[in-house]
């Protein structure tokens, strides 16, 4: 099986939604994960027709501009909600503006971030971060988490890897709801 970076290089990597078998599995898996983590998520009624490049640049610009505080987390959550709860196109600048406003940014801040997101330094930063992720050879989705412990690096993909990640960093994973034993 080809590595994700090779698939991207050769153009053979497809989103799960474009493969009917993967899409059916993903819908079932996401429904169960939604219940398990207690995060409302609904099957997309329409698959996005465009990529998320504008959204990734927007988030990169938020991170660059708002180095203090929790703006990055708030904006990321709003974009996630738009994609997985209300099924809105996050590739459009109007959608990014709405997400920024809902995340508590002022209209002026959102406009500045949108302008910054179109700048060459932000485009270059996103390319660098993407290249760093690809150098791990296993970056092909979210969550993708890199842990560094005592000079060792380990990568984890998927929410089903939190227990292994906890083991690697020397912590106990009790799940998203430690006091809730069953569904």
Q: All domains of the chain, ordered by start, with CATH?
A: 1-43 (no CATH), 48-137 (3.40.30.10), 142-173 (no CATH)
CA dihedral 80, 83, 88, 94 (to 10 degrees): 40
Beta bridge partners of 38: none
Show Cβ contacts of residue 51 under 8 Å, excluding neighbours closer than 6 positions.
Answer: 91
pLDDT in tens, the chain (183 residues): 344 444 445 455 566 667 778 777 777 777 888 888 888 776 665 555 567 899 999 999 999 998 878 999 999 999 988 988 888 889 899 999 999 999 999 999 999 999 999 999 999 999 999 898 888 877 766 788 899 999 999 988 888 888 999 999 999 988 888 887 665
Is the separation of the CB atoms in 155 and 146 below 8 Å? yes
- In this structure, the number of other CB atoms found within 10 A of the CB of residue 52 comes to 15
pTM equals: 0.72
pLDDT value at residue 3: 47
């Amino acid at each position: 099986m080809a590595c994700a970076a090779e698939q991207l290089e050769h153009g053979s990597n497809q989103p799960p939604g474009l493969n009917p078998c993967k899409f059916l599995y993903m819908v079932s898996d996401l429904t169960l994960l939604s219940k398990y983590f207690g995060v409302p998520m609904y099957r997309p009624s329409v698959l996005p027709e465009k990529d998320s490049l504008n959204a990734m640049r927007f988030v990169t610009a938020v991170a660059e501009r708002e180095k203090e505080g929790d703006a990055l987390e708030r904006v990321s959550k709003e974009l996630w909600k738009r994609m997985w709860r209300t099924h809105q196109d996050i590739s459009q600048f109007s959608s990014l503006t709405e997400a920024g406003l809902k995340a508590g940014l002022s209209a002026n801040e959102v406009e500045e971030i949108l302008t910054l997101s179109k700048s060459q330094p932000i485009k270059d930063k996103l390319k660098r971060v993407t290249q760093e992720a690809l150098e791990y050879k296993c970056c092909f989705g979210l969550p993708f988490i890199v842990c560094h412990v005592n000079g060792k690096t380990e990568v984890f993909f998927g929410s089903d890897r939190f227990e292994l990640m906890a083991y690697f960093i020397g912590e106990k994973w009790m799940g998203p709801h430690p006091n809730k034993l069953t569904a």
